[in-house]
Amino acid sequence: MQGTYSLLSYTRIPTSREEANNADIALSMHLALRSHVDGEWTPLNENYGIFFAAAVPLATVPTHARGALSASSHFSGEGDAPASAAVELQAAMPDVDIVLKSLIDPYLFRLKDGRFAIVATRTARGGESDGSERNSFLLAVSADLLSYTQLGQVTVADTHGVHRPAAAYDAAHDCYVVRWQDDDGNMAAATVRDLVAAAGGDALTPSAQALAWSDVVTDYAAQDEEYGIAGCVPGNVIAIDKSEAERLTVRFGRVHNTSATVRPARLSASLRGEEAREAVEVLNKTTVTLGYSDGSSTVRRVDWDQAQLAQLGEQAVAGKLRPGQRLRIDGRVRQTVYPVPFAVERADPSVFAWRYNGKPLFLFIATDDTDGNCIDPNGGATHMPLRVAESIVELSDEAGGREREVDVLVRGDLNSEGREMTGCFWAPELHVIAGRLSILFMPCFDGEAENPDGSANERAGKPDMWTGSCHIMQLKQDEDGRDLDPRDKANWSVPEPILGPEGESLNPVQRISLDMTVLQDSGRWYYAWQQVGSVWIARFDPEHPARLTSAPKQIVVPEFAWDNLIAEGPNAIVHEGRIYLIYSGSLVGIDYTTGLISAPAGRRADLTDPGVWTKLDYPLQKSGMYNGEWQLGTGHGMWSHDEDGNLIYVFHNAEYSEGHYGGRDAQVRRVHWASDGMPILDMQADEELNPSYACITMEIVVR
């Protein structure tokens, strides 16, 4: 009918990591919309997965250790393998306490209440059987296909295999009909009054009556139909309405600039002399509003024609302006396009806008990742490089930023315990804590002869990343409270390890802790960092930043194949009443992705409670095309601001060519906020500003 759209669910044939389409990504539910104009199918989310099967916790993981397992919160545990030592810290360890999964044969349908539901065959990670298809299928529900609640497995009794499950609500009989194929390809069906309640409940019972009613269930889409989508393995097609299609397009389509508007300015003809000149100078601050295809907008500064403004100023000073005149000043929308790469072999980058005793400066600090060796690069000459400049562009390699680097730490420097820091200097981040410029980072030390478990340590006498822990160093100030020059390493305090409330190490399970960042909310200060392969958080006193004031709590566990094995590199920003904390997953390399959790801001929420946070089911940023070039392994980002106060995103991507991984390069780009309130991290230059709108005119009305 008028106003309906066709939506296709599908998986893809796995190809390669280089195309961001290995089995971890391909074996998830993808979505595509059919055009009303030409009938062509458009893959959403750049033909990347949107719904991923959640990992399943071991049955031996106690309930109190599952607080951060948001996607699998409704699941029963499976398997009898022993749980890790992390459960004693009320946490779950990735790849030990949970088992990653994939899915095939996704099927979309409507629940009785109008919500969406998805049934699928759950598999082991990568697509091999995990045994669940012997007698069950996966069920999830969603109000809008933007977020999902995974309910777990629905069991079927007296069956010989459950393949290609499909379901529909049968209004005539007020029940759900579920249909599937058994191991021999025979069709079977069952009915249930409440399908949602069936997940984890009593088994469905196949019946001949249910099979007779199963014609309410539409077939899977034909495998040989042409969809024009690379590697498409179709599930089924359903109808959605215009508003649902628009929401999906806003979230998973490309957003682009569609307009540029400058409000007319007004100038009084009665002004004279210096007052008139100042009134004209104020026009320099006139901004442009850029409109976008999703209904969002943003404000940008404009570089106005200074010769035209000077001429206008002279006319105003001399009293030559007359009421009713309409004048025009030309300008160009300000759009700095940062060099790509911004800084070669500088990983985990941090760009920080800072006022040096009143003077605005920008600082850049990062992990040295020369040739992909971030433990002891450059023949063991490990260091912490800092760049300082008056603009962000000046920090780039292209502008000579690398040549102006200074080392605020080098191999052999001692920490406050007198230990020699010999390697790593990982993920340094700049923050102001209690008025003092601070660097949070992880150094590592030479390994002992034996590991804690008694095994021989291959890193004995060499920098060993497993010895690393979060440290803090702060810029010194003079007697008047003025900051000393950050480019002089002597002006920094001796690095201190950050310890727990009782002076204990942060990570008693594996020793290593890293990637620390700072959050503030409702007058409370928090650290968030990575340990045990996941993101943790705790409160601290900014006057004593080397000691936590609350016990560390786990808030993010990688539960999907796209963020598999690790969640790290947290960083947070507050926008319109919400905290957006990004993190990175899927190990360092070309598979790296950026995930997101969010929480309410300014409401005194306890951010150490994992239940306060909402996790996005799919990556916020992933490998893909940017300005015509592939960027693989995007991640470990940091929010910051440019010279005009615009939000920017600083991150790294993998250096990768013809199968060779060469480390990670820093990148900088602006952030756009979509109309649904989500940040867009991969807006390309011509999407941010259509070249047709770059040159604009301001109309000035003389009164």
pLDDT digits (tens, 9 = 90+) for 113-143: 999 999 999 999 999 999 999 999 999 999 9
pLDDT at 55: 97
pLDDT digits (tens, 9 = 90+) for 397-420: 999 999 999 999 999 999 999 999
pLDDT at 35: 87
**Band of the pLDDT at 224, cuts 50, 70, 90?**
low
Q: Which two tokens stand for residue 82?
A: 């022993």
pLDDT at 603 over 70: yes
Residues in contact with 328: Cβ distance below 8 Å, sequence separation at least 6, in sequence order? 697, 698, 699, 700
Q: What is the C-alpha to C-alpha distance for residues 439 and 427, in angstroms, rounded to an integer?
A: 10
Type and span of the H or E element at 210: helix 208-213
CA 552 to chain CA mean position, Å: 22
Q: What is the C-alpha to C-alpha distance for residues 651 and 429, in angstroms, rounded to an integer?
A: 12
210 close to 189: Cβ distance less than 8 angstroms: yes
At residue 318, φ and ψ (nearest 5 deg) are -80, 0
Q: Which of 367, 336, 409 is nearest to 584 (CA)?
A: 367
701 close to 320: Cβ distance less than 8 angstroms: no
Q: What is the C-alpha to C-alpha distance for residues 97 and 233, in angstroms, rounded to an integer?
A: 32
For CA atoms 391, 393, 396, 397, the dihedral sign is: negative
Type and span of the H or E element at 153: strand 149-155
Bigger pLDDT: 268 vs 222: 268
- Across residues 103-107, what is the average pLDDT? 98
pLDDT at 226: 80
CA angle 119, 219, 235 (to 5 degrees): 50
pLDDT digits (tens, 9 = 90+) for 6-61: 999 999 999 999 999 999 999 999 999 998 888 899 999 999 999 999 999 999 99
Share of the chain above pLDDT 90, in %: 90
pLDDT at 266 over 60: yes
- Across residues 106-115, what is the average pLDDT? 97
pLDDT at 1 over 80: no
Q: What is the C-alpha to C-alpha distance for residues 614 and 607, in angstroms, rounded to an integer?
A: 11
Type and span of the H or E element at 247: helix 242-252
**Band of the pLDDT at 658, cuts 50, 70, 90?**
confident
DSSP string, 422-452: -EEEEEEEEEEETTEEEEEEEEEEEBPSB-T
DSSP string, 75-94: PPPB--PPPPGGGGGT---T
Domain 346-670: which CATH number of 3.40.50.2300, 2.115.10.20, 3.20.20.210, 2.60.120.260: 2.115.10.20
pLDDT at 3: 65
**Band of the pLDDT at 153, cuts 50, 70, 90?**
very high
Q: Which two tokens stand for residue 569?
A: 């590199």
Rounded to 10 degrees, the C-alpha dihedral 687/693/695/697 comes to -140
Q: What is the C-alpha to C-alpha distance for residues 313 and 315, in angstroms, rounded to an integer?
A: 5
pLDDT digits (tens, 9 = 90+) for 304-356: 999 999 999 899 898 888 999 999 999 999 999 999 999 999 999 999 999 99
Looking up tokens 């004279």, which residue turns up? 272
DSSP string, 270-322: T--HHHHHHHHHHGGG--EEEEETTS-EEEE-EEE-HHHHHHHHHHHHTT---
pLDDT digits (tens, 9 = 90+) for 413-460: 999 999 999 999 999 999 999 999 999 999 999 999 998 888 999 999
DSSP string, 635-675: EEEEEEE-TTS-EEEEEEEEEEETTEEEEEEEEEEE-EE-T
Domain boundaries, the chain: 5-55+100-252, 56-95, 257-322+329-334+693-702, 346-670
Q: What is the C-alpha to C-alpha distance for residues 339 and 342, in angstroms, rounded to an integer?
A: 5
CA 377 to chain CA mean position, Å: 28
Q: Which of 588, 591, 599, 583 is nearest to 637 (CA)?
A: 583
pLDDT digits (tens, 9 = 90+) for 470-497: 999 999 999 999 999 999 999 999 999 9
Q: What is the C-alpha to C-alpha distance for residues 636 and 134, in angstroms, rounded to an integer?
A: 40
* Number of separate helices (H) and strands (E) present in the chain: 8, 44
Q: Minimum mean pLDDT among 225-239, 248-262, 287-301, 566-580: which range?
A: 225-239
Task: Decide: pTM greater than 0.85.
Answer: yes
Q: Which two tokens stand for residue 164?
A: 């290609």
- CA–CA distance from 468 to each of 8, 404, 424 (Å)? 48, 28, 8
pLDDT digits (tens, 9 = 90+) for 608-617: 999 999 999 9
For 416, other C-beta atoms within 10 Å of its C-beta total: 14
Size (the chain), residues: 703
